[in-house]
Every structure is written in C-alpha cells, then in structure tokens.
Structure 1
Amino acid sequence: MSVNFCVACGHPMETRVMDGVERRACTSCGSIHWGNYSVGVGALVMKDHKILLVRRAQEPGKGNWTNPGGYIEQLEPIEQTVVREVLEETGVHTRVKSIVALRDQPRSIHNIYIAFEMEYVDGEPTPDGVEVDQAGFFSVEEMKSMKVAAFTQWLIDVALHGKSAGLEMDPEPIAPSNGSGFFRV
C-alpha cells in the first residue's frame, strides 16, 4: 500500500530515491515515510520446570498453543509491553530477565519479534476469554500431545537449550536513557 498523503501536514506525497531506495516523501514539508513496521514481543515464563502457554482464541493461529505476547504501543517501553501482555492474557505477574531470541520477518509490514525470558512473580493462569481461551503451565512432556505452534516450539527450544544468558536489561546505563530501554550481554 502506498502512502499518498503526508501524516504530518496532509499534503500529497511523491516517490523519491534516497540512498538507492524509493521512498515516499511529502511535496510540502519533506517528511519521509520510512515504511510499515510492527514490533511484537513474547514471554517465556517458567515455573516448576513448566512453561506458560496460552491457546489462541482468534486468528491467526486460532486453536494453537503459543507463548503469551503481543504488540508494543507507540509510547510504551518494550519491557513494559511484555509484562502487560502476559498479565492481560493470563493474569500472571512477571518481570523481565533477559532477551533470548529475535525473529526478523521482512514482508509488507516488516515484523520484528523479541522473545523475553521472564521471571514468574505470582498469579494463576486465567485466560482473558478474548484473545486466549485456555492458559496454563505445561511440561515439555505434556506439550507433546498439544498443538503447539512451530515458532513457539522453536522459542521453547531456545529457552531450554540456549547457550548464553541472553541480553539483560541494563538498569543503570552510562548513557542518558531519556526513556529508552538498554539491554546488554
């Protein structure tokens, strides 16, 4: 889909070549449309050697078991997003431990998905009844008889067999954060 009018001032857009790439630019204010992107997050929460999974009640993936997750809001720090998504979908309280995986999916809306290892704090899994119709902690053995989405199977493998601690949140970066989240090895 092409952007025809500027979101900043409403004037018509035109195609310009910038650094060898065609981009849409405003004919009046010069604002550039850089593309369409979405950033998703997923949580890998373990309790008593079991992983928190939800069964999707909506498409895409209706009926599949996945790790809880969702999309960031425009002004929401990503570490708050993943905590919020787990709480909304399951009623379980968590804390970010580290980033353990990333999926880059170039397509019409370029999707970046960041998977977090989460610390279980408290709460019993209760599905939200909208996005999720079941939720619970499951062992790897129990998952063998469940319809677990392939991507979630990969994430679980990363979480259980990863060779590093992942990227951990830097609570006191030496650079001014200005609301940015910093993660380091």
Structure 2
Amino acid sequence: MEAHYCLSCGQRLEIRNIGGENRKACPGCSFVFWGNYSIGVGALIMKDEKILLVRRRQDPGKGLWTNPGGYIEQYEPIEKTIVREVFEETGITTRVNGIIALGDLPRNVHNVYLVFLMDYVEGHPQPDKVEVDDAGFFSLNDMESMNVADLTHRLARIAFQQPSYGLISDPKPIPSLPGYGLYHVQRL
C-alpha cells in the first residue's frame, strides 16, 4: 500500500529530500514515511535425519512443499513468532537455536526473511488445514519426488549440511530497551 496521507496527523504527504533520498514527509509534523516493509520467518527443524515440511493450502505457493513459517506481528518478539508459526501450522513444539539464513527481496513491499535453525522438542506433524494441508518430516531423497519450492530446497540443503548456528540470541541485549532483541555470531 502506498501512503499519501500522514499516518500521524492526516495531512497530505509531500516529497522531501531526506538523507539523500526523496521521501514522503508530512509538512505539518515530523512524520516521515520510510517505506513498506514485511518481515517473514522460516523454520528448519531436523528430526531423525529428516526435515519438517508443510504443503501450502493457499497462495502464494499453493500445492508447494515449504518449510514452516510466516510473518511477525507488530508487538511480537521474533523468536516467539517462529515458535508460534511452527506450532500453528504443524502442532510441533520447537525452540530457537539460531538464525542461519537471511533473505532480502526489495520491491513495492520490501520483504526480509529470517530463517531459524530450530530444535525439535515434541509433537507429531498435524497440518492446520487452513494454511497447510499436509505436514511431515522428509529426507533430501524424499524431496526429490515432491513439489518442493526452490527456496525450501536450498534451505533444506543448508540444514542437512550440519551448519554452524549462525547468529544466536543474546540473552541480555540492551536492558534499557525492553523487548529489544539482538543476535550475534557465536564464538567458537
């Protein structure tokens, strides 16, 4: 969605050069429209040398097998988002281990996609029948005969290669900013 009016006071936005870029800004208050962004999360969950996949029941990607995932809610910490999304889609309980991939798709709505390596905790794959119509653990060999999304195929290979844990969550990122999350490289 393109913004034409100030989200703070309702005045029509004008174009101003801010930081060397033309941006929409409000002539009546300090509001600047920085753009449309969407943050998605994906999970790679391994169990018994297999990876958890779901078959999309709706577009985008209807009929494709993908790794579970979704989008963050406005006030939801990102680690809770991915645990929630996996549970909602599959009934599997997981725990975040680290971030092992980052996708970046700049376009009308700039999409950033964080892929988490997750620890399997418990549960049997049960599709939610809303977003996904099937779920299960599959080997790379199983995936060869399945209609797996290209990105998911690539991410599965990363998971099967026994990756490092990438970025891990800092348990005490910045005490003065409640709810702030920070990820850093794990020291070897």
For structure 1, the 5+ residue unaligned runs are none
Residue in 1 aligned with 2:114? Answer: 114
Residue in 1 aligned with 2:125? Answer: 125
Residue in 2 aligned with 1:172? Answer: 172
Q: Give the ranges of 4+ consecutive aligned residues of structure 1 lying more than 4 Å apart after TM superposition.
A: none
Deviations 1:101-146 (A, max 9, x none): 0001111100000000000011110001011000001111111110
> What is the TM-score of this pair, normalised by structure 2?
0.94
Residue in 1 aligned with 2:66? Answer: 66
Q: What is the alpha-carbon distance in structure 2 between the residues aligned to residue 163 and residue 72 of structure 1?
A: 25
- 1:91 has 2:63 as partner: no
Please provide the CA RMSD for this pair: 1.2
Q: Among the aligned pairs, what percent are the same residue?
A: 58
Corresponding residue pairs, total: 184
The 8 Å contact of residues 46 and 159 in structure 2, kept in 1 or not, is answered as no
- Give 1:31 deviation, angstroms: 0.3
- Give 1:162 deviation, angstroms: 5.8
For structure 2, the 5+ residue unaligned runs are none
Deviations 1:7-55 (A, max 9, x none): 1111111111112211111121120000000000000011111100000
Q: What is the alpha-carbon distance in structure 1 between the residues aligned to residue 139 and residue 13 of structure 2?
A: 53
Q: What is the alpha-carbon distance in structure 2 between the residues aligned to residue 127 and residue 89 of structure 1?
A: 6
Residue in 1 aligned with 2:22? Answer: 22
> What is the TM-score of this pair, normalised by structure 1?
0.95
- Give 1:2 deviation, angstroms: 3.7
- Give 1:59 deviation, angstroms: 0.7
